[in-house]
Structure 1
Amino acid sequence: MKIFKLITALIITVTFVLGCTHDDYVPANGTGDVGIGESPDELLVKKFSTAPVFDGDIDDIWSEARPLINKATVTGAGDREITLNGSSGGNLSLEPTDLMDPYTGESYSYSLRGGHDGEYLYLLFEWEDDTDSQQRESWFFNPITKQWQQENKYANHKNDKFYEDKFGFMFPIGNPAGFSEGTCTVTCHGGLTDPQPGQKVTRHYMKNDGELTDFWHWKRDRHALAEACDDGYIDYPWKDGVDLSGTAAANARRNDEGAGPYANNQKFTDTDTGMVGPLYVVPGAENYYWIVKSEIGTVAKEVTGIDENGIISYEGGTIDPNGDPAYSQGFGSKRIPSVIINPGGQGNDGRSEVQVKAIHTGSGWQLEIRRLLYTGDPTDAEFKIGESIPFGLAIFNNAAIAHGQTNYLSMKIEN
């Protein structure tokens, strides 16, 4: 097995509002066969004589595929006009200015290889990341207010990052206007009007009615059991017959049809005390980042009450967080997960047909990705043998929305 070694190099950051080019590409030195080479912007999808074993490990066959090696850089996305975190209480001064802060300027080295066997497209996607980030809006106990709260979804500062790792890919469906030249940037619209509480003023939607973009979105915690990503698409922002383009409500990201592999650990509100907390808990558990749906009713208990001191009641016992630092904000080992997960379709429906086998090596992510070249679904991109298709990608390092991105890429499917 060959493990891709990321190269430490000088990062030259080129900042744009809606994306980055490959100007910050730094060639890898000695990471591949000289005869194969590498590219900063073209992924050559190799015709495999034998398909790799789809298990997340790196088989020798991958050494035949030329890597696309580049960096995904977090660039600015426009100022916030309204608070995004409930903890801010509407005070915009408590949150950073740009939507991508405090991640702006971060850059993540990655390698992407491609292959096909005439039926499936295979991708090997590796990027540098020393930490397997799994804390996603976990519940903690505030001993001063005696209340349960959640970590912020959107980091207010560099020490406020409690989210999961993610990736995203975008491919055109058909020939949407401008995608060949702009890839992901054509779906990104900033300066949107009339933001309501929690709404961002930069959103993804298509410029023209009837156009579509295929969007693959993998989330470390929420896809842990599904071993797939959310296969979805971006279209025009119609909702209930109303054209929302130009407004902060114009979110046109949709999921393909299929079972959802995750849901929120809903809020419980005690009708007597008014105290709020998570609906499900696993008493005594430490360093757990999700609750499996099948655990509910067994190891995972439904909350039945929260008293004025924050003591949680459930059938069979109580949780008293007072004086216990394990429930504290930031690094408490007993913080309670915000997410319930289940296997979903596991590759058997449209939403989960992009399958992902993920391994965190200790220094980075190593993911094998597989999808049929042609699914027959009108909301999926078609990968045609002998042709090229433009695409863009994004890496989310412990972030909800802030993502390093590389646009203006192309994929050539070898005959």
Structure 2
Amino acid sequence: MRQRKTDYGTIILHWTFVAAFAVALVTGLRIATETPDRTWINWFDAVLPRDSVWIAHMQAAVVLVAVAIGYLVYMLRSGLGRRVQLDKVRLRGLFGRGQARLSAVIALMYWIFFVTMFGLLVSGGALYFGFYSGYDVAMLHWVGTWVILAFVVLHVLTQYKSGGISQLLRIFRPAPLPAPPPRLDAVELLGLLAERSARLPESEGASAPPEVSSHPLQPRAETRRDRTDEPDPAPRSHGGPSRSRNPTLQANPFLVAAAAAITGASLLVATDRLAVDSVQIRRINPADAPVLDGDTSDRAWRGVRPFSLLTGEGGNFDGKGETRIAIRAVHDGTYAYFLFTWEDSTRSLKHLPLVKEADGWHLLHSGLQAGDEHRYNEDKFSVLLTTSDVTLAGGRTFHPGPQPVAGAPATMSGRGLHYTASGYADVWQWKATSGAIGWMDDTHFGPPLDPTPMQAANVVPYKGGFAPDPGTASYRDNFTVEADTSGGPRRSRLIAPLRLPKDVAATTGAMGDIDLDPNHGESEGARWFMTEQDSVPYSTSIDARIPTGTVIPGVILGGEFSGDRADVRSAARWASGHWALEVKRRLDTTSQFDVPIKTGIFMRVAAFDHSQIRHTRHVRPIRIEVE
């Protein structure tokens, strides 16, 4: 039996697509492990990549775009469009039998594949460039991946059905591209018909119709013995000399397709590099420096054009997981000032509150034990500064997987860890309750740290290389949690609160209208913390006087920030569904854990809606330019 073969252009494009999609698939699955309801993907942890996941994913995406362009050009130039042509004849074949139906099904599957791949590339581009970052686009990207996988399985099965193992093996057997059929020339057709009419035997009479082949330009089936082995004469124009058909020199279709693919991919990469997102830090007179009070009406902000970007794939935010963040920045030669504003429909201050019940105090939470509290937490905002040209999210500061650090404890949430291979990335964290008295916690990502005894025992989550800068903070939790947390997934028994209110009525009044629904925000002026001045250390005698049903804050504020941890001052205000956060820091703190604010460094921002770690994100970095 003659071996079936496939043109080499199709084979090259086919296997290039397979390789690129395989890389995009495994890296995409690793990225998807960061979605809380998809931690089941960690079952395949052993075969999923661990390093440079985002970088490899985007590189594979560029190759897929190139293959898509190349395939389209190749099909047009080679005349192979009939392979996937979905016309009326093929559609009618869906209601037929045998090979007609199979051919129609294969063609229909190809078009489902084309549409799905287009959706994957468009949704991926929207997420990458930040045009749209909501759950629906991410879900489109997720569903499209599984449609492509289903297509791969069905593609193999239908190809086997159409021609057996020989049909499957043809993708490994290259052959030259068959010449396309000649174009239909009307003048040549008329000349051919006239020539045939002139050759008819006189005995057949003038009324006999001429014999015409199925395609006028295909070879004729001669029956006369003296013509059996002779080639067909060249068609002639009527009454004139012979002329050649299609004299135009045709370029190799695969080379044209490859050139188009490389050009398209190069333009995509160049556009990405040239269209860098940047924030201008305009210079102002020190007398015009903004006052840190969360008020956006300062003179310094009036003439500054904000940089706006859409961040997504976070937690909450009314179920969309996205928010738009605007950034303004100025400096006076010594200090840099930032104004961050973002959308958040609720002012969430309920950070792990405590409720007294008949059997004692309980902590309200939903995922604290795994380090993934996403209900009873305060609103937060984070800024990352780095000197590295980190062109993709998580390229050097985040490592996905349930155990990214070999020999260290596995993550209790099943998600990845922040750390660097060397050096430090500067991280600022503002917290709506814990940072209420004027500081943004100055922290950093560095090389992985040794686990503490509590982390090694899986009592508290291991944090990789995420740690505060040296110094002290003015806040702490108002509780300690037992190692045996058998109190249920929502509430766990505490040993005891660390401090109790001096005046229960006054503390309750300061908390405003107490609504324990985590999706409901707090009123203006409400505070969900206690200070050391309005609280006392826990004692059973004081506890006995507090009635059942009392709610007290889970945060204690006392003292001030100190050391490197106190480098960033801030103030925030919430109004009309928006947070406004003003921040101040020296351009250069001289700390090894801080990044000097100067032209050429890169920034990332993230917003948290009453969530511990489920923050929004953007893929492309923001370049800082200091005037």
Q: Is this a same-fold pair by TM over 0.5?
A: yes
| Structure 2 partner of 1:201 | 415
Which of 340, 344, 351 is the equivalent residue of 1:129? 344
How far, CA to CA, are the matches of 1:404 and 1:257 in structure 2?
27
| Structure 1 partner of 2:300 | 61
The one-letter code sitting in structure 2 at the alignment partner of 1:378 is Q
Q: Which runs of 5+ in 2 are unaligned?
A: 1-27, 35-53, 55-126, 134-274, 483-492, 512-526
Q: Are 2:327 and 1:112 equivalent residues in the alignment?
A: yes
> Residues 202 and 125 from structure 1, CA distance in 2 versus in 1: closer, same or farther, beyond 3 angstroms?
same
Question: Do the aligned residues in 2 keep the contact of 1:114 with 1:121 (CA within 8 Å)?
Answer: yes
Q: With a CA cutoff of 8 Å and minimum separation of 6, indicate the structure with the bigger relative contact order.
A: 1
Question: Do the aligned residues in 2 keep the contact of 1:171 with 1:391 (CA within 8 Å)?
Answer: yes
Q: CA deviation at 1:380?
A: 0.6
Q: Are 2:496 and 1:277 equivalent residues in the alignment?
A: yes
> Residues 104 and 191 from structure 1, CA distance in 2 versus in 1: closer, same or farther, beyond 3 angstroms?
farther
**Following TM superposition, where does structure 1 have runs of at least 4 consecutive aligned residues deviating by more than 6 angstroms?**
101-104
Higher strand share: 1
Q: How does 1:360-375 map to 2 (within 5 A)?
A: 360-375=574-589
Q: Which digits, 9 at most, give the CA deviation of each residue in 1:195-240, with x for residues without a partner?
A: 568455311111x2x3211111111111112x11111111111327
Question: Do the aligned residues in 2 keep the contact of 1:356 with 1:368 (CA within 8 Å)?
Answer: yes
Question: Do the aligned residues in 1 keep the contact of 2:409 with 2:462 (CA within 8 Å)?
Answer: yes
Q: How does 1:245-256 map to 2 (within 5 A)?
A: 249=462, 251-256=464-469
Q: Are 2:600 and 1:388 equivalent residues in the alignment?
A: yes
Q: How does 1:4-403 map to 2 (within 5 A)?
A: 17=32, 21-24=128-131, 41-49=277-285, 50-58=288-296, 59-74=298-313, 105-142=320-357, 146-152=359-365, 154=367, 161-172=375-386, 174-175=387-388, 179-193=389-403, 198=412, 200-206=414-420, 208=421, 210-225=422-437, 227-239=438-450, 249=462, 251-267=464-480, 276-282=495-501, 283-284=504-505, 285-286=507-508, 287=511, 289-295=528-534, 300-305=535-540, 313-314=541-542, 318-321=545-548, 327=549, 334-345=550-561, 349-384=563-598, 387-403=599-615
Residue 43 of structure 1 aligns to a residue whose secondary structure is strand
Q: CA deviation at 1:167?
A: 0.7
How far, CA to CA, are the matches of 2:481 and 2:393 in structure 1?
42
Residue 300 of structure 2 aligns to a residue whose secondary structure is helix
How far, CA to CA, are the matches of 2:281 and 2:362 in structure 1?
47
Q: Which digits, 9 at most, give the CA deviation of each residue in 1:386-405, with x for residues without a partner?
A: x2221211100111111111
Q: CA deviation at 1:265?
A: 1.2
How far, CA to CA, are the matches of 2:451 and 2:469 in structure 1?
19
Question: Do the aligned residues in 2 keep the contact of 1:170 with 1:183 (CA within 8 Å)?
Answer: no
Residue 405 of structure 1 aligns to a residue whose secondary structure is coil
> Residues 275 and 70 from structure 1, CA distance in 2 versus in 1: closer, same or farther, beyond 3 angstroms?
closer
How far, CA to CA, are the matches of 2:446 and 2:410 in structure 1?
22
Residue 149 of structure 1 aligns to a residue whose secondary structure is strand
Question: Do the aligned residues in 2 keep the contact of 1:128 with 1:364 (CA within 8 Å)?
Answer: yes
How far, CA to CA, are the matches of 1:302 and 1:407 in structure 2?
46
Residue 305 of structure 2 aligns to a residue whose secondary structure is coil
How far, CA to CA, are the matches of 2:500 and 2:132 in structure 1?
46
Q: CA deviation at 1:134?
A: 0.7
Q: CA deviation at 1:40?
A: 9.3
How far, CA to CA, are the matches of 2:317 and 2:290 in structure 1?
39
Residue 545 of structure 2 aligns to a residue whose secondary structure is strand
How far, CA to CA, are the matches of 1:235 and 1:292 in structure 2?
32
The one-letter code sitting in structure 2 at the alignment partner of 1:303 is Y
Question: Which has the higher Rg, Structure 1 or Structure 2?
Answer: 2
Q: How many residues align?
A: 320
Residue 71 of structure 1 aligns to a residue whose secondary structure is strand
So what's the TM-score if we normalise by structure 1? 0.68
> Residues 108 and 281 from structure 1, CA distance in 2 versus in 1: closer, same or farther, beyond 3 angstroms?
same
Q: Which digits, 9 at most, give the CA deviation of each residue in 1:59-118, with x for residues without a partner?
A: 13312212111222125xxxxxxxxxxxxxxxxxxxxxxxx6898741112211111111
Q: CA deviation at 1:364?
A: 1.3
How far, CA to CA, are the matches of 1:216 and 1:413 in structure 2?
19
So what's the TM-score if we normalise by structure 2? 0.46
How far, CA to CA, are the matches of 1:275 and 1:378 in structure 2?
38
Question: Do the aligned residues in 2 keep the contact of 1:45 with 1:411 (CA within 8 Å)?
Answer: no
Residue 137 of structure 1 aligns to a residue whose secondary structure is coil
Of stretches 281-290 and 387-396 in structure 1, the one that deviates more from structure 2 is 281-290
How far, CA to CA, are the matches of 1:102 and 1:180 in structure 2?
27
Q: CA deviation at 1:139?
A: 0.9
Q: Which digits, 9 at most, give the CA deviation of each residue in 1:221-269, with x for residues without a partner?
A: 11112x111111111113279xx9xx98452111112221111213499
| Structure 2 partner of 1:88 | none
How far, CA to CA, are the matches of 2:352 and 2:564 in structure 1?
28
Q: Which runs of 5+ in 1 are unaligned?
A: 1-13, 27-38, 76-99, 306-312, 322-326, 328-333
Higher helix share: 2
